C-alpha cells in the first residue's frame, strides 16, 4: 500500500462501511442539497454575531479608537489580542494540510478541508483587526511601497510591514492551496448537482476539470509544491507576528524565544479549533465513518504535544526572566503577571493551557467527543488569555512606575471579540452549506487503497 505511514489499516476500516463510491459521494455531498434545521439556526445566530461585529466596527471607524478602553501606556489591548488569537487559530489548517501531507499522515484527509477553510476565515478575522486598530484606518495603504506624490516610503525596520507581507501572503497561499484542493470536488458537484444553475456555477469554479490522467499528475505535483511552500510559510507567519513584540524593548515582549513560542501556541489553539469544528459536524452529519475515532485520537495527541511545547515556553521565559536578574524582567514575570491586577487572567491561562490538556493523556478523553470538545474549548479560552497577558500585562507595568495604568475593556471591545467570532462562524456555515467539507476524491482514493484490489 503506497505511502501508508501513520495509521494502521484496521483503524480506518470504517471507511469501507459504504457499498459503492457513488453512495460515499452522495453521503459527503448530502449537506449541499439538504436543508437542515440545525444549519438554519446556527446560521441565524452567527448572522446576529456578524451584525454586532458590523456595528462595533463602524462605530469604531466613525468615532475613533477612543471608544475602546485603550490608553497610554496600554495602547494595544483587545484589538491586537484578537488579531494574534485569530492568526494563531489560522495556523492549524495549513499545518494539517501541508505539513501532514508532506509527512504523508493520511488520516488528515478527512479533516483537512475543514481545517483549511477554518484557516482562511480565521485569517480574514485576523487581517481586519490590524487595520481597524489604526488611528486612521483609511491610510492603511501607506504601508504599501508605492510611488506616492509625497515621495515618502514605508519603513521596513518595523515589524508591521513584515506583518502586512506575511498575512497577505499567508492568506493568498492558503486560499490557493484550498482552492486547488477543491477543484476535483467542484467537478464532482458540477456533475452531481440538481438543477442547471448550480451545475453552471460549480462548473465555472471547476474550471473544466476532467479528471484526466494528465490533470491528476500535474495536480498532485503542484499540490505537493504548494504544501512545500506553505509549510515554512506557516512557521514564518507566526514568527513574524511574534516580532511585533519581540523587536521592542518592553519587558515581557523583548524575548528571543517568542517566534517558536508563538508558533507552538498558534498550532495549539489551531488544533483545538479544528476539534471544536469537526466534532459537531461529525455528530450532525453522522460522519463517524469518515471522521473516525482514530482522527479524534490523533488530534487529541497533537493538542497534548503542542500543549507541552507551550508549557515549556512558559517555563523557560519565566526562568530567563529570573535568571537574567534584570529588575524590569523580574518585576514583569514574577510580580506583575502572577500577582498584578490581571493575575486572575494569568492563572486562568495557566489552568486552561497547562493543566486542562493533561486530561488528554487518557485515551478515553481523546476518543470521547464531549470531553475532547470541552478540553478544546478551554484551550481556546486559555490561548486568548495568553495573548491578553502578553500584551496588556506587559504594557500596564513598564519601565517608569509613573506611567503605570490599568486597562478596562468597553462594550465595543467585547463587541469586536464576540462579533469576530460571529463573523467567523457565519463564513464557516456558508462554507458548510455550499462546499463539500470532506475532500471526496481523497476519501475515495484512500478507500480504494484500503480495499482488496480487484483483479482485471
Partner 1 sequence: MVGRRDFLKMVGAGVALAGVTGCVTEPRRSILPYTMRPPEVTPGNPLYYATTMPLDGYGIGLLVASREGRPTKVEGNPDHPASLGAAGVYEQASILQLYDPNRARQLTYQGGVRSVRDFVRAFGPQSTSAFGTPGNGEGLHLLLEPTSSPLTASLIARVREAYPAAGFTFYSPLSSSSELDAARNVFGRPLQPVYDLRAADIIVALDADLLDEGPFSLRYAREFADRRRLEEPSAGMNRLYVAEAGFTSTGVLADHRLRVRSTEVAEVAAALLELVRGGSVGATEGAAPMGGAVVGEGRGAQWRGNEWVRAAARDLAAHAGRSLIMAGARQPPRVHELAIALNAILGNIGRTIRYIDPVLVDVGLPTHSPVPLVEALRAGAVRTLVIVGGNPVYDMPADFEFGELLRRVPERVYCGLYRNETAALCDWVVPALHYLESWGDVRAWDGTASLIQPLIYPLYGGITIDDLLKVFLLEAATDAHQLLWESWRERTGGGDDFDEFWKDALRRGVIPGTTSPEVAVTGEGAVVRVQSMGGAGGEPRAGSVGVDRVPESGDQQGGGGESAKLPRGGLVLSFRRDPKVYDGRFANNGWLQELPDPVTKQCWGNAALLSPRTAARLGVEDGDLVELRYRGGKLRLPALHLPGHADDEVTVSLGYGRGGAEEVARGVGANAYLLRRADAPWFGGGLEVARVGEARGEERVVRTQERWTQEGRPIALVATLAGYRANPDFTHEHRGSQPSLFERWNYSGEQWGMTIDLSVCTGCSACVVACQAENNIPVVGREGVARGREMHWLRIDRYVTGDVEEPRIVMQPMLCQHCEKAPCEYVCPVNATVHSSDGLNEMIYNRCVGTRFCSNNCPYKVRRFNWFDYAVLRSPEEDLQLNPDVTVRARGVMEKCTYCVQRIRRAGIRARVEGRELGGDEVVTACQQACPTRAIVFGSLGDPESEVSRSRRQPRLYSVLHELGTEPRTMYLAKIVNEAPATAV
Partner 2 sequence: MPALFPRWSDTLLRVGIVGVLAAVLLAVGFAMAWVRTPQITGQFSPLEQPVEFDHRHHVADDGIDCRYCHDLVERSPYAGVPPTERCMNCHNQIWPDSPLLAPVWASYFKNEPIVWRRVHQLPEFVYFDHSIHVNKGVGCESCHGRVDRMARVYQVASLQMGWCLDCHRRPERVLRPVEEITTMGWVPSRPQEELGRELMERYGVRRVTDCTACHR
Partner 3 sequence: MRGRARFVEPGIMAEFGAEGELEHAVVRLRERGYTRLEIYAPYPVEGATTLLYQTRPRLNWVVFCAATAGALLALAVQWFTNAFDYPLNVGGRPLFSLPAWIPVTFELAVLAGGLAAFIGLLVSIGLPRLWHPVFEVPGFERASVDRFWVGIDRRDPRFDPERSRQELTELRPLRIEVVEVGR
* Positions in the binding site for partner 3 (CB under 8 A): 2, 20-22, 25, 145, 151-157, 159, 161-162, 165-166, 168-169, 172-173, 176-177, 180, 184, 187-188, 190-192, 203-204, 207-222, 225-226, 229-230, 232-233, 236, 240, 243, 441-442, 444-445, 448, 453-456
- Residue 200 binds partner 2 (CB under 8 A): yes
How many other CB atoms are there within 10 angstroms of residue 67's CB atom?
17
Question: Are 406 and 353 in contact, with CB atoms under 8 Å apart?
Answer: no
The C-alpha angle 150, 153, 158, rounded to 5 degrees, equals 145
**Residues 156-195: x where in contact with partner 2 by CB under 8 A, - otherwise, as a string:** ----------------------------------x-----
Element housing 221 (H / E): helix 213-246
- Residue 70 binds partner 1 (CB under 8 A): yes
Q: How far is the CB of 405 from partner 1 (least distance, A)?
A: 4
- Residue 203 binds partner 2 (CB under 8 A): yes
- Residue 152 binds partner 1 (CB under 8 A): yes
Element housing 454 (H / E): none
Cis peptide bond prior to 73, omega within 30° of 0: yes
The smaller minimum CB distance to partner 3, of residues 361 and 451, is found at 451
Q: How far is the CB of 367 from partner 3 (least distance, A)?
A: 29
Q: Which residues contact 96 (CB under 8 A, 6 or more apart)?
A: 108, 111, 112, 115, 116, 271, 274
Q: How far apart are CA 355 and CA 390, in angstroms?
A: 19
The smaller minimum CB distance to partner 2, of residues 193 and 263, is found at 193
Q: How far apart are CA 414 and CA 429, in angstroms?
A: 22
Q: How far is the CB of 33 from partner 2 (least distance, A)?
A: 18
Residue that is written with C-alpha cell 484551550 in the block: 379
Q: How far is the CB of 188 from partner 2 (least distance, A)?
A: 13
The smaller minimum CB distance to partner 2, of residues 191 and 326, is found at 191
Element housing 71 (H / E): none
- Residue 147 binds partner 2 (CB under 8 A): yes
The C-alpha angle 378, 167, 412, rounded to 5 degrees, equals 55
Size of the site for partner 2 (CB under 8 A): 14
DSSP 258-295: HHHHHHHHHHHHHHHHHHHHHHHHHHHTT-TTTS-HHH
User: Among residues 232, 274, 449, 234, which one has the least CA distance to residue 377?
Assistant: 274
Q: How far is the CB of 65 from partner 3 (least distance, A)?
A: 25
Residue that is written with C-alpha cell 471608544 in the block: 67
- Residue 149 binds partner 2 (CB under 8 A): yes
Q: How far is the CB of 250 from partner 3 (least distance, A)?
A: 15
The smaller minimum CB distance to partner 2, of residues 205 and 414, is found at 205
User: Among residues 138, 429, 399, which one has the least CA distance to residue 281?
Assistant: 429
List contacts with partner 1 (CB under 8 A): 61-67, 69-76, 133-136, 138-140, 142-143, 150, 152-155, 157-161, 164, 244, 247-250, 253, 327-328, 331, 395, 398-406
List contacts with partner 2 (CB under 8 A): 146-152, 190, 196, 199-200, 203-204, 208
Amino acid at each position: 500500500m503506497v505511502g501508508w505511514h501513520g495509521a494502521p489499516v484496521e483503524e480506518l476500516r470504517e471507511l469501507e462501511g459504504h457499498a459503492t463510491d457513488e453512495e460515499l459521494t452522495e453521503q459527503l455531498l448530502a449537506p449541499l442539497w439538504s436543508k437542515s434545521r440545525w444549519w438554519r439556526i446556527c446560521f441565524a445566530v452567527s448572522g446576529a454575531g456578524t451584525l454586532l461585529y458590523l456595528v462595533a466596527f463602524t462605530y469604531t471607524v466613525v468615532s475613533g479608537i477612543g471608544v475602546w478602553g485603550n490608553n497610554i501606556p496600554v495602547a494595544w489591548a483587545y484589538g491586537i489580542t484578537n488579531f494574534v488569537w485569530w492568526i494563531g487559530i489560522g495556523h492549524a489548517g495549513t499545518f494539517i494540510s501541508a505539513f501532514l501531507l508532506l509527512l504523508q499522515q493520511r488520516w488528515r484527509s478527512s479533516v483537512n478541508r475543514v481545517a483549511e477553510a477554518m484557516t482562511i476565515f480565521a485569517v480574514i478575522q485576523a487581517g481586519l483587526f490590524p487595520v481597524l486598530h489604526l488611528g486612521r484606518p483609511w491610510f492603511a495603504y501607506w504601508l504599501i511601497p508605492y510611488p506616492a506624490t509625497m515621495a515618502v516610503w514605508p519603513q521596513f525596520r518595523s515589524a508591521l510591514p513584515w506583518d502586512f507581507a506575511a498575512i497577505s501572503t499567508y492568506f493568498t497561499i492558503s486560499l490557493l492551496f484550498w482552492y486547488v484542493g477543491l477543484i476535483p470536488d467542484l467537478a464532482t458537484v458540477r456533475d452531481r448537482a440538481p438543477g442547471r444553475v448550480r451545475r453552471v456555477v460549480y462548473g465555472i469554479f471547476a474550471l473544466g476539470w476532467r479528471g484526466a490522467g494528465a490533470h491528476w499528475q500535474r495536480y498532485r505535483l503542484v499540490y505537493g509544491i504548494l504544501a512545500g511552500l506553505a509549510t515554512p510559510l506557516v512557521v514564518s507567519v507566526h514568527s513574524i507576528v511574534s516580532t511585533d513584540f519581540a523587536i521592542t524593548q518592553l519587558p515581557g515582549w523583548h524575548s528571543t524565544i517568542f517566534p517558536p513560542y508563538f508558533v507552538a501556541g498558534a498550532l495549539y489553539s489551531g488544533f483545538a479549533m479544528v476539534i471544536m469544528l469537526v466534532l459537531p459536524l461529525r455528530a450532525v452529519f453522522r460522519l463517524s465513518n469518515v471522521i473516525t475515532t482514530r482522527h479524534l485520537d490523533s488530534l487529541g495527541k497533537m493538542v497534548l504535544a503542542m500543549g507541552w511545547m507551550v508549557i515549556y515556553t512558559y517555563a523557560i521565559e519565566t526562568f530567563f526572566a529570573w535568571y537574567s536578574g534584570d529588575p524590569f524582567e523580574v518585576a514583569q514575570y514574577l510580580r506583575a503577571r502572577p500577582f498584578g491586577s490581571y493575575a486572575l487572567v494569568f492563572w486562568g491561562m495557566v489552568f486552561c493551557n497547562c493543566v486542562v490538556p493533561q486530561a488528554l493523556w487518557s485515551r478515553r478523553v481523546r476518543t470521547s467527543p464531549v470531553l475532547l470538545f470541552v478540553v478544546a474549548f478551554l484551550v481556546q479560552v486559555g490561548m486568548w488569555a495568553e495573548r491578553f497577558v502578553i500584551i496588556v500585562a506587559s504594557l500596564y507595568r513598564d519601565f517608569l512606575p509613573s506611567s503605570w495604568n490599568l486597562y478596562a475593556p468597553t462594550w465595543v471591545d467585547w463587541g469586536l471579540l464576540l462579533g469576530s467570532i460571529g463573523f467567523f462562524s457565519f463564513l464557516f456555515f456558508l462554507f458548510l452549506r455550499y462546499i463539500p467539507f470532506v475532500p471526496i476524491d481523497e476519501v475515495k482514493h484512500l478507500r480504494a487503497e484500503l480495499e482488496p484490489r480487484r483483479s482485471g
